[in-house]
Amino acid sequence: MELLKRLSASGRRLLLGVVVTAFAVVASACDTNVGPQDYLSPEGPVARKADGLWDLTFGIAVAIFVIVEALLVYTIIRFRRRPGREAAQFHGNTKLEVILTLIPTLILAGLAVPTVKAIADLSDKPEGALNVTVTAKQFWWQYEYPDAGVVTANEMHVPTGQPVYLTLEGADVIHSFWIPKLTGKQDVVPGRKNNMYFVADRPGTYWGQCTEFCGLSHANMRLRVIAQEPADFEQWLAEQQEPAAGTVSGAAAQGQEIFMGTCVNCHAIGGTEARGTTGPDLTHFASRETFAGSMFRNTPDNLKRWIDNPPGVKPGAQMPDYGLSAQEIDAVVAFLQTLK
Partner 1 sequence: MATAALQQPRRSIFARPTATTGWYSWVTTVDHKKIGIMYGVTAFIFFLLGGLEALAIRAQLAVPNGEVLTAEVYNQFFTMHGVTMIFLVVMPMGVAFFNYFAPLMIGARDVAFPRLNALSYWIFLFGGIFIYSSFFLGGAPDGGWFGYAPLSTQAGQDAASGLADRGMDFYAVGLQFLGIASLAGAVNFIVTILNMRAPGMTLMRMPVFIWMTLVVSFLLLFAMPIIAVALFELMFDRLFGTRFFAASAGGDPILWQHLFWLFGHPEVYILILPAMGIVSEVLPTFSRKPIFGYAAVVFAGAAIGFMGWGVWAHHMFAAGLGPVANSAFALSTMFIAVPTGVKIFNWIGTMWGGSLRFTTSMMFSIGFIAMFIIGGLSGVTHAIVPHDAQQTDTYYVVAHFHYVLFGGALFGIMSGFYYWWPKIFGHRLSEKIGKWNFWLWFIGFNLTFGPMHIVGLQGMPRRIYTYPDGMGWNVWNMMETVGSFMIAVATLIFLFNVAVSRRKGREEAGADPWDARTLEWSIPSPPPEYNFAEVPVVTHRDEFWHRKYFVGPGKTVEPVFSGGAVDHSEHAEHDGGHHIHLPSPSYFPVVAAFGMLVSAYAVIFALPAVAIGILIMTLGFFGWVFEPGTAE
Asked if 133 touches partner 1 (CB under 8 A), the answer is no
Residues near 64 by Cβ (< 8 Å), separated by ≥ 6?
107
Options 44, 47, 306, 333; binder of partner 1; rule CB under 8 A: 47
Q: Which stretch binds partner 1 (CB under 8 A): 189-197, 240-248, 255-263, 285-293?
A: 189-197
Report helix angle 300-308 to 326-337, nearest 10: 130
Question: What are the φ and ψ backbone dihedral angles of 136, each rounded to 5 degrees?
Answer: -100, 130
Q: Which stretch binds partner 1 (CB under 8 A): 19-27, 246-254, 269-277, 283-291?
A: 19-27
Asked if 219 touches partner 1 (CB under 8 A), the answer is yes
C-alpha gyration radius of the chain: 28
Options 39, 145, 259, 306; binder of partner 1; rule CB under 8 A: 39
Distances (CA, A) of 186 to 45, 167, 212: 17, 10, 10
Least Å from the CB of residue 92 to partner 1: 4
Least Å from the CB of residue 228 to partner 1: 23
Q: Which residues pair with 22 in a beta bridge?
A: none
CB neighbour class for 172 (10 Å; exposed up to 12, middle 13-18, buried from 19): middle
Asked if 184 touches partner 1 (CB under 8 A), the answer is yes
The residue among 159 and 184 lying less far from partner 1, judged by its C-beta, is 184
Least Å from the CB of residue 293 to partner 1: 12
Residues near 222 by Cβ (< 8 Å), separated by ≥ 6?
154, 207, 208, 209, 210, 290, 293, 294, 295
Options 217, 228, 254, 337; binder of partner 1; rule CB under 8 A: 217
SS3 call for 23: helix
Asked if 215 touches partner 1 (CB under 8 A), the answer is yes
CB neighbour class for 13 (10 Å; exposed up to 12, middle 13-18, buried from 19): exposed
The residues in 65-94 that bind partner 1, with binding defined as CB under 8 A, are 65, 68-69, 71-72, 75-76, 79-82, 85-93
The residues in 250-279 that bind partner 1, with binding defined as CB under 8 A, are none
Q: Report the Cα 41 to chain-centroid distance in Å.
A: 14
Q: Are 283 and 239 in contact (CB under 8 A)?
A: no
Asked if 309 touches partner 1 (CB under 8 A), the answer is no
The residue among 191 and 246 lying less far from partner 1, judged by its C-beta, is 191
The residue among 225 and 244 lying less far from partner 1, judged by its C-beta, is 225
SS3 call for 128: coil
Q: Which stretch binds partner 1 (CB under 8 A): 141-149, 151-159, 312-320, 328-336?
A: 312-320
